[in-house]
Structure 1
């Protein structure tokens, strides 16, 4: 359907009750204008109002005769399975921020002594510091290969790298020639070690002296919330501020058309807005502890530029704006949120918060409508 809403797919992990199944059918009947679909697993395969029925066989095939599909399942690698679970945990507004967290797989030295030999800025326009720009038409390909490796500090197999760079296929000699140029471009560390090496499993791995701003961003947030920032308010504020300054836009914002197609399959593209939102929320809380509402609003605004759809940021922006004592600003923000919500309407938590902070907001919304 041609709507202004991006399509959303709601996945149900358990079979609904008969009553809930009827409610889902009613929702689905009116979902076209919002672009929402529902995928429900049932043992019987019988669900009222279902547009399509798909069967998953014991040998891992998916059959959908009405769609003309017969597919064989592929197993998601364990590291990606964990990343998907973590993504949903981080996105859950009810999850305990003080609960168990997963340490990022690659932390960097964020002290003055930890300056990297090669520094790539990926969060926003792509920029590399510490390397000469390669000559010729291969420059873009080398940049893309380095970006892929920086987003996979665990290593990338040459076959995976070549399929990402040349999705339509490439010969081994062309791939190997690129890897040699990439090794030559990255060079060696002062101790003579190559900055691009091959590990025991055959994967291509970057040296720790090659760092991206995303590595630094994760490390700053980790240090602020699980390291030195835990016991020192001043350190926490500095680390969070430094982290938010690094955010210049979406990941690889100036990526060339027709390249970086592999990025659409990378979970980091969805994780980055969550990370930026978490940093913005933490910095906002830091400022509100000392009644610095304007500073909190500034931090939240910076985070919203990268995570504009994060409900938590908007709700915290409402609280920070209310803390200024300026009722007109709160009303203006409420009107902006109502306008942004469109036909879908405000999320329930945002409505409840507005009812608390600005009980008359519905009158303004009705007048605007």
Structure 2
């Protein structure tokens, strides 16, 4: 199966994109924003991409959980963010004005995309479809992964996003594991390796994905690569909180996959 083309028409955004599956980025904004204002503007866009139809109380609680925020301060942030995001081809603001929405709540315009929402769309299409189309949908989802979700966020911000980050990590692990298994069983070893590695971009400590990687290397007959992958997992585990033990399932799999040492008599 060919690698997904991320420039295919169904994935080409017609406006700005809020990218969360890796370093937080707002791509395609046509306006300008001062560098010292960009962090809060990016957080506002991330929040609205994931929580459309929020009222001012929800925005305040997310962006300023420990502060009392007045209307003027909130409106200034929203106005700067709206200017940064810009307008569509018809001159409509990508960050809608509250007074122009039916329920007087905050929303991004229809041409603003978010990689997590696109990931979910492709994952839903592919997870229960075991045909080639289903595998392609899963590949399209994984192609959106650039690193651990919300990388680079200010540690003092984004408390509201923690449950979503865990949901993203879990979904990426599931999709990557599923696709790697499917491709290995179809004897597409490059595809199996690609899927496992894409998942590991987001959650390098996932032993589920390391096991998928081990199985793909073993299916390829590449024992050297298998040993190096196992060593990498050990290094990762050693770096976590002073060191953690490898899962029993992973250790057992490696015992079964790696050739036994030959002892001279």
Instruction: Describe how 1:158-173 pairs up with structure 2 within 5 A.
Output: 158-166=56-64, 167-173=66-72
With over 3 angstroms needed to count, the CA separation of the structure-2 counterparts of 1:341 and 1:326, relative to structure 1, is: same
Name which of structure 1's ranges 289-298 and 330-339 shifts more when overlaid on structure 2.
330-339
User: Residue 221 of structure 1: CA displacement?
Assistant: 1.4
What is the aligned counterpart of 1:196 among 71, 85, 96?
A: 96
* TM-score in terms of structure 1 length: 0.57
Structure 1 295/160 Cα, relative in aligned 2: closer, same or farther at 3 Å? same
Could you tell me how far apart the structure 2 residues matched to 1:277 and 1:231 are?
Answer: 18
Return the match for 1:307 from 203, 221, 241.
Answer: 203
Aligned to 1:149: 48
Farther off after superposition, 215-224 or 131-140: 131-140
Bigger share in helix: 2
Instruction: Please report how far the alpha carbon of residue 186 of structure 1 lies from its aligned counterpart in structure 2 after TM superposition.
Output: 4.5
Instruction: Specify the alignment match of 1:31 in structure 2.
Output: none
Q: List alignment gaps of at least 5 residues for structure 1.
A: 1-109, 365-369
Distance 1:308 1:264, change over 3 A: farther
Alignment match, 2:10: 112
Does 2:124 correspond to 1:222? yes
2:109 aligned with 1:207: yes
One of 255, 258, 262 as aligned partner of 1:358: 258
Structure 2 counterpart of 1:89: none
Distance 1:294 1:135, change over 3 A: closer
Judged with a 3 Å threshold, the aligned counterparts in structure 2 of structure 1 residues 354 and 137 are, in CA distance, closer, same or farther, namely closer
Pick one of 153, 156, 172 that aligns with 1:276. 172
How many angstroms apart in 2 are the aligned matches of 1:302 and 1:136?
A: 31
Deviation for aligned residue 1:123: 1.9
- 1:251-330 mapped onto 2 (5 Å cutoff): 251-255=149-153, 257=154, 261-263=157-159, 266-330=162-226
Deviation at 1:340, TM superposition (A): 4.5
Compute the displacement of 1:129 (Å).
0.9
Root mean square deviation of aligned Cα = 3.3
Q: Deviations over 1:36-66 (max 9, x none)?
A: xxxxxxxxxxxxxxxxxxxxxxxxxxxxxxx
| CA distance in structure 2 between the aligned counterparts of 1:217 and 1:113, rounded to whole angstroms | 10
Aligned mate of 2:75, from 149, 160, 176: 176
CA contact (8 A) 1:122 1:251 kept: yes
Highest RCO, 1 vs 2 (Cα 8 Å, sep ≥ 6): 2
Determine the C-alpha separation between the residues in 1 that align with 2:229 and 2:35: 50
Pairwise CA distance, 1:267: 0.8
Name the CA distance, whole Å, in 1 between partners of 2:107 and 2:54: 7
Q: How does 1:51-200 map to 2 (within 5 A)?
A: 112=10, 115-125=13-23, 126-135=25-34, 137-153=36-52, 155-166=53-64, 167-186=66-85, 190=90, 195-196=95-96, 198=98
**8 Å contact kept, 1:133–1:139:** no
Q: Partner of 1:74 in structure 2?
A: none
Question: How far apart in 1 are the matches of 2:223 and 2:93?
Answer: 61
Q: Count how many residue pairs are aligned between Structure 1 and Structure 2.
A: 247
